[in-house]
């Protein structure tokens, strides 16, 4: 299957993508994760991208489309994939169409802005292996280190409250119109982002019919 996860920052796209990806045996491609990796490695693209991500802005379309084009050409994508965080603009969606990709479903996880702020303030991430936690909802076993690799967890730079507000503004202005774009194609599935992660997973799997 070829699936897109849409949704506001912190709606739970990454969390659900990881679960569904394991269940269906297909990779998740997260443009946010690829960009963070490039920033960590200090590549030219990473240096340019960090100017946008730390301000809560979108990285320019041509950069992100290039990342996706390259990633989708890898052999592990042959059996399908989940796109987490791409596309985020109409030109990005059109570029995906232009690559001749036929999508099975676009899942939009719907969460109110007030809930997002609470989720972001509790998120902690592992800079080494990329695992994501929440102090209240998915706490690390010892409260501060990664369960998988033992590294001390950190707060994402773009989770600062003022940056979250800007990311939400950008989402509503630029990314939310994609719901109409995919609704017109008949493949949009709206999923209510519940308080419990497993409840959202149940609704997501039902929406996907798997
Ligand atoms: P990206 O990493 O994609 O950030 P995002 O879309 O803002 O999404 P998040 O990763 O913040 O949240 P999520 O929806 O995955 O939620 P999560 O599952 O972690 O992108 C970062 C930046 O890169 C962008 O701002 C942009 O600058 C750039 N970028 C990326 N893609 C781009 C593109 N295509 N074009 C241009 N620029 C691009 O959950 C959040 C927290 O809540 C976690 O702690 C989790 O444990 C918790 N949680 C999840 N579900 C639940 C639940 N049901 N109940 C309670 N807690 C929950």
Residue range 64-95, pLDDT digits in tens: 999 999 999 999 999 999 999 999 999 999 99
Please name the residues in contact with 104: beta carbons below 8 A apart, sequence gap of 6 or more.
Answer: 1, 2, 3, 80, 187, 208
Question: Ligand 1 centre from 74 Cα, in Å?
Answer: 24
Answer yes or no: is pLDDT of 146 > 90.
yes
Question: Ligand 1 centre from 13 Cα, in Å?
Answer: 6
pLDDT the model gives residue 195: 83
State the average pLDDT for the chain.
96
Q: Is 88 in the pocket of ligand 1 (CB under 6 A)?
A: yes
Output DSSP code: residue 153.
P
Q: Whose CA is nearest to atom 21 of ligand 1?
A: 32
pLDDT the model gives residue 117: 87
Q: Is 52 in the pocket of ligand 1 (CB under 6 A)?
A: yes
- Which of 15, 60, 117, 127 has the most ligand 1 atoms within 8 A of CB, as the residue to mutate? 15
- Please tell me the pTM assigned to this model: 0.95
| Catalytic site positions | 13, 88, 123, 156, 167
Rounded CA-CA distance 53/206 in Å is: 33
Rounded CA-CA distance 144/21 in Å is: 26
Question: Ligand 1 centre from 158 Cα, in Å?
Answer: 10
Helices (H), 42-78: 44-53, 61-72
Answer yes or no: is pLDDT of 105 > 90.
yes
Answer yes or no: is pLDDT of 123 > 90.
yes
- Nearest CA among 149, 209, 185, 205 for reference residue 16: 205
DSSP-based three-state secondary structure for 1: coil
Q: Are 142 and 135 in contact (CB under 8 A)?
A: no
């Amino acid at each position: 299957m070829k699936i897109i996860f849409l949704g506001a920052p912190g709606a739970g796209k990454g969390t659900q993508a990881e679960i569904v990806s394991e269940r269906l045996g297909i990779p998740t491609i997260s443009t946010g994760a690829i960009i963070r990796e490039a920033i960590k490695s200090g590549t030219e693209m990473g240096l340019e991208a960090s100017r946008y991500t730390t301000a809560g802005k979108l990285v320019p379309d041509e950069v992100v489309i290039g990342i996706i084009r390259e990633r989708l050409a890898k052999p592990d994508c042959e059996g399908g994939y989940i796109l987490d965080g791409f596309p985020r603009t109409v030109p990005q969606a059109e570029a995906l169409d232009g690559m001749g990709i036929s999508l099975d479903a676009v899942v939009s996880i719907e969460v109110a802005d007030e809930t997002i702020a609470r989720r972001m303030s509790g998120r902690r991430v592992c800079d080494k292996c990329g695992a994501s936690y929440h102090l209240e909802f998915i706490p690390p076993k010892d409260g501060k280190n990664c369960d998988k690799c033992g590294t001390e967890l950190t707060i994402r730079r773009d989770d600062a409250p003022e940056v979250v507000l800007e990311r939400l503004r950008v989402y509503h202005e630029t990314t939310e119109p994609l719901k109409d774009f995919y609704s017109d194609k008949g493949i949009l599935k709206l999923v209510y982002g519940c308080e419990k992660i497993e409840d959202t997973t149940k609704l997501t799997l039902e929406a996907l019919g798997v």
